Structure 1
């Protein structure tokens, strides 16, 4: 079981490494407001990950695989990402707290940003397609230990990635001035808008 746990920590870490919407938002908040705000964005994303693991555990993943549901998720995800990206570009120079200053943005707000970014079809479909078979194959109604070990290992791997990323970002933040942080926030917003355009494209393809 210990070997299974560590193997899935590596799996979770490797899955979290590619740059996605959550990573972009974490980086933006980490640069503007420090380690805790960036990490809390990651915790918001992990909340959705945990919810999806529970859905898979109870056999509800098939509901999210229904074409009509996926079409709705593409649209909802596109709108969320467009809104967050627009706000990031619009307020790129706002809410920047330098070293020693108290952040003006609340941790609760950063957490909900993570939730919104994580509720995207890319994230949901990813969990269903990649982790669905792994977790379902490990599920045994008479012995749920393997399932829980795999799920816990994946989440710990993601958590290690988030802490490592925010440690790096918070160190970088100390040597950047507000202008660089502002443009980093604007760039992050444009990347999120780019993701939203892709989601709108997928929504369009799913309805024609």
Structure 2
């Protein structure tokens, strides 16, 4: 059992290393506001991950992949990424405080940004692709334990990745100057806008196909 758990922790680490809008937001927040702000973005995303795993476990995969649900998710993702990108562009004009005092941006806002960014059909399909095979057969006692091991292992792997990445960013941020951090926020905004355009395209494409 421990060997299986370790293997899925490694899988979670590998999966979380893929670059994406969530990673961009985490790095930007950690650079500008410190370790906790970056980590809370990741925690917001993990809340959605855990929710999706629970819904998949209880057999709600068909609902999550319903065309109207997907269309709504693409629209939400487009709006949220656009807003978060604009916020990043606005932050680029704000100097970074290296004094070690509490960040001006609240942890609740950082958490919410991660939570909202994780709401997308791509994320839903990702989790269904991982856990779908485990639910192909009836959930006997053994398969329930296996499901829990897989879920726990992957989430622990993601958590380890987030903590490790945020620690590295936090302890190296003081080596950077204000100009570099300004451009980090600008580049992050452009990347987030790019993801927003992609989500908007998928929304229009899916809506057109549905109609």
Q: What's the TM-score once normalised by structure 1's chain length? A: 0.93
What are the Cα deviations for residues 6-49 of structure 1, in whole angstroms up to 9, with x where unaligned? 11111111110011111011001000011111011111111111
Q: Secondary structure of 2:100's partner?
A: coil
Task: Describe the shift of the 1:139–1:97 C-alpha distance in structure 2 as closer, same or farther (beyond 3 A).
Answer: farther
Give 1:97 deviation, angstroms. 2.4
What is the root-mean-square deviation of aligned Cα atoms in Å? 1.6
Give 1:202 deviation, angstroms. 1.0
Q: Distance in 2 between matches of 1:64 and 1:137?
A: 17
Q: Secondary structure of 2:132's partner?
A: helix
Match of 1:140 in 2: 139
Residues 1-208 of structure 1: matches in 2 within 5 Å?
1-94=1-94, 96-128=96-128, 130-137=129-136, 140-143=139-142, 144-208=144-208
Please say if residues 43 and 111 of structure 2, whose CA atoms lie closer than 8 Å, have aligned partners that are also in contact: yes
Give 1:171 deviation, angstroms. 2.4
Task: Describe the shift of the 1:19–1:139 C-alpha distance in structure 2 as closer, same or farther (beyond 3 A).
Answer: farther
Please say if residues 43 and 114 of structure 1, whose CA atoms lie closer than 8 Å, have aligned partners that are also in contact: yes
Please say if residues 44 and 114 of structure 2, whose CA atoms lie closer than 8 Å, have aligned partners that are also in contact: yes
Q: Unaligned regions of 5+ residues in structure 1, if any?
A: none
Q: Unaligned regions of 5+ residues in structure 2, if any?
A: none
Please say if residues 131 and 147 of structure 2, whose CA atoms lie closer than 8 Å, have aligned partners that are also in contact: no
Please say if residues 98 and 178 of structure 1, whose CA atoms lie closer than 8 Å, have aligned partners that are also in contact: no
Q: What's the TM-score once normalised by structure 2's chain length? A: 0.92
What are the Cα deviations for residues 102-141 of structure 1, in whole angstroms up to 9, with x where unaligned? 311111111111111111232222222x223244248624
Q: Distance in 1 between matches of 2:176 and 2:66?
A: 46
Please say if residues 95 and 178 of structure 2, whose CA atoms lie closer than 8 Å, have aligned partners that are also in contact: no
Give 1:159 deviation, angstroms. 0.6
Give 1:63 deviation, angstroms. 0.5
Q: Distance in 2 between matches of 1:123 and 1:38?
A: 20
Q: Distance in 1 between matches of 2:154 and 2:40?
A: 18
Q: Distance in 2 between matches of 1:2 and 1:147?
A: 14
Q: Alignment length, in residue pairs?
A: 207
Task: Describe the shift of the 1:89–1:52 C-alpha distance in structure 2 as closer, same or farther (beyond 3 A).
Answer: same
